[in-house]
């Protein structure tokens, strides 16, 4: 998209956020301090009653082999052929930094329904990704069947939690490819009283 130079740098940064494909991501990933800052941004998402319906789990490099075993167990359990099992194992090594995003919903605050808690967790993830982008990092959120499969989910989740996604984070190795111009009018309608 073409930037309006009259826009603030913060808004220009927000409007330029995009996912970065794994093959276009390299070292370095964010430092512990930079991850902490991104998490502070995540904590600024709307969160009615401060329920904190999410948490992030950093998967250190020395834990990637154990994660690969979990991914392999998932692939074998769902009947993937051997070459796809090997590819699934390799996914545990995606990105210089890997974070699991966990959602934990509660019924203890009936005035905050579950869908509102999901929106809060999603807003937090968006803030996390945007903060990383503004620091010069690229990220890609990956979900799918393995996030709900017991061999993977049970490694991350406590009772009542859900593994929403894995976030791969690194430094982009190329500029983003042009994409279709986003049309805000396609996302906006006007309410007319029935």
* Residue-range domain boundaries for the chain: 20-174
% of the chain surpassing 90 pLDDT: 85
pLDDT of residue 2: 54
Backbone angles phi, psi at 170, to 5 degrees: -165, -165
- Mean pLDDT along residues 151-156: 97
- Look at phi and psi of residue 79 and say left if phi exceeds 0, alpha if psi is from -120 to 50, else beta: left
20-174: which CATH topology? Answer: NADH Oxidase (3.40.109)
Please, which pLDDT band fits residue 179 given cuts at 50, 70 and 90?
Answer: confident
**Higher confidence at residue 16 or residue 66?**
66
pLDDT of residue 1: 47
Does residue 42 contact residue 99 with C-beta atoms inside 8 Å?
no
Please say if the pLDDT value at position 181 is more than 80.
Answer: no
Name the 3-class secondary structure at 165. strand
């Amino acid at each position: 998209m073409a930037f309006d130079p009259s826009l603030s740098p913060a808004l220009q940064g927000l409007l330029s956020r995009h996912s970065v494909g794994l093959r276009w991501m390299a070292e370095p990933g964010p430092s512990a301090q930079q991850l902490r800052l991104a998490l502070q941004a995540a904590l600024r998402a709307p969160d009615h009653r401060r329920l904190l319906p999410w948490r992030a789990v950093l998967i250190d490099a020395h834990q990637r082999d154990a994660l690969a075993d979990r991914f392999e167990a998932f692939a074998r359990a769902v009947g993937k052929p051997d070459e796809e099992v090997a590819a699934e194992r390799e996914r545990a090594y995606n990105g210089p930094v890997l974070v699991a995003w966990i959602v934990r919903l509660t019924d203890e605050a009936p005035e905050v329904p579950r869908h509102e808690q999901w929106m809060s967790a999603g807003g937090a993830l968006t803030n996390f990704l945007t903060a990383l982008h503004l620091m010069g990092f690229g990220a890609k959120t990956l979900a799918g069947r393995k996030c709900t499969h017991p061999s993977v989910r049970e490694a991350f989740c406590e009772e009542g939690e859900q593994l929403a996604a894995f976030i791969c984070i690194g430094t982009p190795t190329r500029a983003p490819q042009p994409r279709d111009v986003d049309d805000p009018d396609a996302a906006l309608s006007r309410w007319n009283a029935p």
